[in-house]
Amino acid sequence: MNVHYYEYPVGVVGIEATGDAITGIFFGNRKKADDVIGETSVIKSAATQLDEYFAGNRKGFDLPLCAHGTSFQQSVWKALCSIPYGETRSYGEVARAVGNANAFRAVGAANHCNPIAIVVPCHRVVRQGGSLGGYAGGLDIKKYLLELEKSCSFSLG
């Protein structure tokens, strides 16, 4: 597994890849013994796209992803990718989108296990009343990402 760390407005972000696919984007330094520190072309591409995202110039990502999880987690992560930039959905809305309206707690658990932060936008999922809920990267980062997207989604068209 290749991994490289970058500094962004939310702090240190690690990007990991195997072969030609991103397998993880995470907050902080969590180097594992078998990690190879170094940039690959796909890691560089992810870093460039994250730079553009934080600059307010990118609203979607075009990266090869390989996230390992259960079939339910995979369905939740796919549903997260359909939440438009600058918008939020409740855990219940995501549960309904994956075909199980009662699975809102399981959606929260799948969000917590999301290995590809920001690109698979679990930060866009909030509680039913609009409060933030949880976030594996911390609520300060979740709030920052939502405010960034809200401020960059305004258009006159």
Positions marked catalytic: 122
For Cα atoms 95, 96, 97, give the angle at the middle one, nearest 5 degrees: 90
Task: State how far the Cα of 119 lies from the Cα of 42, in Å rounded to an integer.
Answer: 14
Strands 36-37 and 2-8, by their bridges, are parallel
Structure tokens at 154: 């305004």
Report the candidate in 34, 42, 38, 32 with the shortest Cα–Cα distance to residue 5: 38
Task: State how far the Cα of 148 lies from the Cα of 99, in Å rounded to an integer.
Answer: 30
Cα torsion angle, 134, 135, 141, 146, sign: negative
